[in-house]
Amino acid sequence: MGRLDAFYLPGDAFAPPYALTGSEAHHCARVLRKAVGDRVRVFDGAGREGEFVVSEVARERVVLTPVSLRETPPETNAVWLAAGFSRSARRDFFLEKAVELGAAGIVFWQAARSQGRMPDASKEAWTATLVAAAKQCGAAKLPALDVVAGGAAGLAAAWRDRACRRYLLWEDADSGRRLCVADVAAPGSALFVLGPEGGLTEAEAALFIDAGFVPASLGERVLRWETAGLAVLALRLAG
């Protein structure tokens, strides 16, 4: 049997009676034309998933009966990416690959050289992109999404008391330190700050370093922000 078609059932809805509604029900019944007796995969984005049988198909509701349920074990290594907000068509690509490569969370922050203004809260369209990626790659857990106001100072303050390793990815890092697998794949959580499309300012870099972030580079080439983030996640997989 090939891969089962997947559907998203978030939060408290992932409980008896299991039922798809809204756009997920429409996609299941009207687009993919699932019928009673068909098997599907359902996940909640927080690590719970299972195989289900379609037991009832109505106009705006698809009722499901669980065949098997499972839960993704808690992560021993959680990688968060804090990306300077960029008005970029590559954002969807970045979000998709973050799901595929297992990012624990993505934080957007308003940098001095950000293109456009960051919204006050994460957008539903961003979550929809994560969900679509999880359906394609088989992930049961979505990266957490957050936006942090206050620029570099706001981001540094928001993560000041969080028990994790904190790194500043900066092409002008003069420490000579190159990020390695051990930095990314070590147990515990880690936050990696990425500049926006236009890069970090000297003042922003100094603020992060003064706040205890470890400056490191990903090599001699200047990487686009989304490339740098995915390089970090690739190092995690290598560990």
Closest CA to 179 of 88, 81, 102: 81
The CA distance from 46 to 71, in Å, is: 9
Parent domain of 90: 77-238
Domain final residue, candidates 24, 44, 71 = 71
- Identify the band that residue 88 occupies on the pLDDT scale cut at 50, 70 and 90: confident
pTM of the predicted structure, to 2 decimals: 0.93
> Do 186 and 101 have their domain in common?
yes
> Do 201 and 149 have their domain in common?
yes
Residue 204 makes CB contacts below 8 A (sequence gap 6+) with: 111, 112, 151, 152, 195
The CA distance from 11 to 72, in Å, is: 15
Asked whether the predicted pLDDT for residue 75 surpasses 60, the reply is yes
pLDDT of residue 173: 61
Structure token pair of residue 209: 């370093």
CA-based torsion, 156, 101, 7, 14: positive or negative: negative
Q: What is the pLDDT of residues 8-27, one digit of tens each?
A: 999 889 999 999 999 999 99
Q: The CATH number of the domain where 19 resides is what?
A: 2.40.240.20
Q: The CATH number of the domain where 213 resides is what?
A: 3.40.1280.10
pLDDT of residue 176: 67
pLDDT of residue 193: 97
Asked whether the predicted pLDDT for residue 106 surpasses 90, the reply is yes
Beta strand segments in the chain, E: 6-8, 19-21, 39-43, 48-57, 61-71, 77-84, 105-109, 144-148, 165-169, 188-194, 214-216
> Do 47 and 146 have their domain in common?
no
Amino acid identity at 73: P
> Do 232 and 178 have their domain in common?
yes
